[in-house]
Amino acid sequence: MDEQDEQRPEGTPQDGRRPGQGWTTDEPTRVLRRLQTAMGDAEGALAARLAIGSTDLAAMTHLTFAPEPIGPRELSGRLGITPGATTELVDRLERAGHVERRRDTVDRRRVQLHASTSTLGQVAGELRPLLEALDGVAADLDPHDREVVLRYLTGVLEAYETFARHEADAPDGGR
């Protein structure tokens, strides 16, 4: 092993290529990486249209899609930012009319964060063309192909969830 090999992180290609530069020869995985990049670009475009930053959009996504309302502490953990930074973020989103703070109906000491109705409507309006296009792509699939795509995407989802759990279980929280 030469000196350069000793400096290379374990699991990286021997020729020093970066992720996305030939780490895999599997076409579905390469297309999936391109999809992830395109999704990031779309999130950036949505954040710009809402006149918010990427962390603010990530917060809004958590508030919108959480199975039940979350509070500032949970949002802080999900975003990986300090409680102080979360307070600043929520204050900023509240001033912009994107977030509402509400007292928990069971535990009045607890504050819940909710995306505002107007912002949800704005986001839905911005995403409508994209969602309609995605529905159109799915509608063009025959039932067998649809099942294959669903099986593949479910496997990809499970791989990502497993990876995320592994990171969260690390002693330093994956950081």
And the tokens for 39? 């999704």
% of the chain surpassing 90 pLDDT:
69
Is residue 54 in some structural domain?
A: yes
**Domains: count for the chain:** 1
Q: Containing domain of residue 39, as a range?
A: 26-127
80 in Cβ contact with 170 (< 8 Å)? no
Band the pLDDT of 86: cuts 50, 70, 90: very high
Residue 81: inside a domain: yes
Mean pLDDT of the 67-92 span: 95
Beta bridge partners of 103: 111
Q: What is the pLDDT of residue 57?
A: 95
Task: Report the chain's mean pLDDT, rounded to a whole number.
Answer: 86
Report the pLDDT value the prediction gives residue 104, as an integer from 0 to 100.
Answer: 86
| Gap between the Cα atoms of 101 and 55, Å rounded | 18
Q: Confirm whether 44 is domain-assigned.
A: yes
CATH number for the domain that contains residue 59: 1.10.10.10
Sign of the CA dihedral 118, 119, 120, 121?
A: positive
Given a cut of 80, whether residue 152 has pLDDT beyond it is yes
User: Does residue 172 sit within a domain?
Assistant: no
Reported confidence tier of residue 84, pLDDT bands at 50, 70, 90: very high
Evaluate whether residue 21 is within a structural domain.
no
User: Residue range 72-78: average pLDDT?
Assistant: 95
Q: What is the mean pLDDT of residues 17-32?
A: 72
At residue 5, the pLDDT reads 46
pLDDT in tens, 104-135: 888 888 999 999 999 999 999 999 999 999 99
Is 44's pLDDT higher than 70?
yes
**Residue range 69-84: average pLDDT?**
94
